[in-house]
Homo-oligomer: A and B are copies of this chain.
Amino acid sequence: MERIFAVPLKGGAVTDVYMLSSMDELSGKLQEYDRSIFISDENASKLVERIPEGAVIIPPGERMKGWDSVSRMLSGALELSLARDGVFIGFGGGVVLDLAAFASSVYMRGARLVLIPTTLLSMVDATLGGKTGFDYKGIKNLVGTFYPAEAVLIVPETLRTLPDSEFRSGLGEVVKHALLSEDTRLWKFLKENHDRIMARDSEALSEMIRLSLEVKIWYITRDPEEKKGIRSALNLGHTFGHALESVNGFSISHGEGVAWGMHMALRAGTALGITPENFREQAFSLLSLYGFDCRYPIPDDGFPAFMKAIHSDKKKKGGSVKFVLMEGQGRPVLTALDDAVVRNAVAGFN
């Protein structure tokens, strides 16, 4: 077990990120938390040999991401007589981790929190930075808090059994981090190690995750509460992507939406003269290498619904939607976009 990062966060909090070489090593580490509640879903919990007593195991899926699941976790903690120094241990993908993190953040106004992501998406995205939450009235993560985990434990071995579609979903965020990175290591690594990565070679995954997290950490430590606009860069591709997910009834994965959205943001950027055309081409090529279809057009008759989804994006602030565009690698800019620019980006394929 190696501590790969100690991420400084708001109010002096620190999240320690550990890379673990096996589930056995994880079992050993979990012994440290004697007053704790284990929280997982029915899929992820299959990776664990022995489910701890008093665990809360919810059904899988986004539809579980509501108050009822949080309530089950709070009740579980009460039944275990956990005090504020009790540890909520989330084990699973983004849904379980966001729920466990939210529950820990409000239990007695804040219990301890340890997160163990078991999907690529949650390893590189959901576990750092302290975003917790659940869906409300059909709006994703409408209810939530900022509450960083004290420790994130990453076991790349858990990715071996991850469904392909979920693995690809995580890769979308990894490519995003490559675009947002000021240096070229992650981009280069992705270009040169495609086969090892797709074969889920543990060593390659470990390195890819480490490089990807480094980029995310760069952004969140500079703006821990999302107040300076720096952290917003991590939304690259998300405004377009969420809208696509939304008009498709969430039938495409988050990562696919983000991958598509990134390309749309790059297209909007080139149209406005913000993004150099060769940067867009390189990014498109990387996305294509990992099998993302980034030329899916929004048909004319679908455009009104698409724009409605754009405008209901919860990131709107003071009434206007800000998009993340790219001036080049590692150089995001926040800007509002005219509907016409959006339309040309998502429909004007040649």
Chain A positions within 8 Å of B, measured between CB atoms, are: 10-11, 67, 71, 74-75, 78, 83-85, 105-110, 131-133, 136-137, 139, 141-146, 225-226, 314, 316-319
Contact = CB atoms under 8 A, between A and B. Distances in A.
Contact of A67 (B71, B105, B144): B71
A106 B317 contact: no
Contacts of A132: 109
A106 B144 contact: yes
A16 B84 CA distance: 29
Given A109-B131, A144-B109, A84 B317 contact: yes
B78 A110 contact: no
A131 to B, nearest CB: 7
A133 B109 CA distance: 8
Contact of A85 (B143, B314, B318): B318
Given A75-B137, A106-B106, A108-B144, 7 more contacts: A67-B71, A78-B136, A78-B137, A83-B318, A106-B145, A109-B144, A145-B145
A106 B146 contact: no
A6 to B, nearest CB: 19
A177 B78 CA distance: 32
Contact of A142 (B108, B131, B225): B108
